[in-house]
Chain A
Amino acid sequence: SQELEQSPQSLIVQEGKNLTINCTSSKTLYGLYWYKQKYGEGLIFLMMLQKGGEEKSHEKITAKLDEKKQQSSLHITASQPSHAGIYLCGADAQHDKIIFGKGTRLHILP
């Protein structure tokens, strides 16, 4: 069955540093979504990518979907403590399914 793999599972970075989180599927994705879960809270929608090669930015967060629509990356520039949390990718997969990755836990060190 189609799955989303996120890497890394956990990430610790110094405040001010850049970082990248990846989300990979073995099959074509029809829509890719990035969410953020703050500790102890629910999911917050960040952005959605649908077209191969698409790139979107929101404040210091940029997400890209590759041309084959099988991999997406989330890049944070000049990380801040407010970026800490769990980042989750979700996708519209084949056969009308919606799937999620396992999440990447991000810690920001002051």
Chain B
Amino acid sequence: DTAVSQTPKYLVTQMGNDKSIKCEQNLGHDTMYWYKQDSKKFLKIMFSYNNKELIINETVPNRFSPKSPDKAHLNLHINSLELGDSAVYFCASSPTGTGTEAFFGQGTRLTVV
């Protein structure tokens, strides 16, 4: 049973397209995150949701929009994809946003061509 699952694992798409990455956690956690790992392996937090409410929204382009239909799901929708969006995107969850470790999904490797 995968605790945090992301789909798809790989995504290759053309510039200008709109795509979504899905994330689901079956741990009953209250907080979910989206991270972007760039080519230098830095993990940058993009969004954080706690009980369906956005609590962190770092400086990311408006083309990125998180959607959380319920606290077990946090999807990432990206409009008008650009070459610079190519990266590995990680979803994670934690019991609460403070003082607890995060459980990560396997990552989605996005390549924009």
Using a CB–CB distance below 8 Å, which chain A residues touch chain B?
Answer: 31, 33, 35, 37, 39-43, 45, 48, 86, 88, 90, 96-100, 102-103, 105
Contacts and interface: CB of A to CB of B under 8 A. Distances in A.
Contact of B107 (A43, A88, A98): A98
Contacts of A86: 100-102
Contacts of A97: 106-107
A91 B48 CA distance: 23
A40 B99 contact: yes
A83 to B, nearest CB: 15
Given A35-B43, A43-B102, 14 more contacts: A37-B101, A37-B102, A39-B98, A40-B98, A42-B48, A42-B58, A43-B35, A45-B41, A48-B41, A86-B100, A88-B102, A96-B109, A98-B90, A98-B107
Q: Top 8 nearest A-B pairs by Cβ distance?
A: A42-B45, A103-B101, A40-B98, A100-B104, A43-B43, A45-B42, A39-B99, A98-B107
A43 B99 contact: no
B97 interface: yes
Contacts of B33: 42
Contacts of B88: 98
A102 B103 contact: yes
Contacts of B100: 86
B63 interface: no
A72 to B, nearest CB: 14
With most chain A CB atoms within 10 A of its CB, the pick from B37, B42, B104 is B104
A42 B41 CA distance: 15
B41 A33 contact: yes
B56 interface: yes
B44 interface: yes
Nearest to B38: A45
A104 to B, nearest CB: 8
Nearest to B106: A97
A96 B37 CA distance: 14
With most chain A CB atoms within 10 A of its CB, the pick from B48, B97, B101 is B101
Interface string B57-95: 010000000000000000000000000000010100000
